[in-house]
Copies of this chain bind each other. A is one copy, B any other.
Amino acid sequence: MSDDWLKKVNWSEDGLVCAIAQDAISGRVLMVAWMNREALKLTFQKSEAVYWSRSRKKLWHKGEESGHIQKVKQIRLDCDSDVILLQIEQQGGIACHTGRESCFYKELANGVWVEKDVVLKNPEEIYRKPENES
């Protein structure tokens, strides 16, 4: 199959594109990470989210250590072609490296960020080594 679709993405100067993972059922936004060309291609081929870890400078098959694989149901691109939106099924129900369902657990209330969501699993029990990537 042609890779022409990859050329339509408006890659940043660093060769990356921002990717949002949204729960395909609940609609909750779970996390945001980055993909390079290879990561997006693999995401499409595997139907599992593969990101580019900017801190580790390597491909990051989400869930490779935690088991919290993201099954990809749909891949969308925005009007400027510089943001990817994945509809996913989150294995284990935990997307965040803190052990929460979503990375967006801090809410602004009266001018203070308040942690609103519970930790579902202790990160030390989730990872053999930290998976905090972005």
Interface residues of A, Cβ cutoff 8 Å to B: 1-2, 4-5, 8, 18, 20, 22, 26-29, 31-32, 44, 74-83, 85, 96-98, 100, 103-108, 111-113, 116, 132, 134
- On chain B, the residues within 8 Å of A97 by CB distance are 79
Which residues of B are found within 8 Å of A83, using beta-carbon distances?
32, 103-104
Contact B27 A26 (CB under 8 A): yes
A113 near B27 (CB under 8 angstroms)? no
User: When the two chains form the complex, which single residue of B4, B31, B98, B108 contacts A75, counting CB atoms closer than 8 Å?
Assistant: B108
CA distance A131 to B26 in the complex (A): 31
The 8 A-B pairs of least Cβ separation, nearest first, read: A27-B27, A78-B103, A75-B108, A76-B104, A77-B106, A79-B103, A32-B83, A85-B104
- Report the bound CA distance from A29 to B104 in whole Å: 14
Interface centre among A74, A98, A103 (most CB of B within 10 A): A103
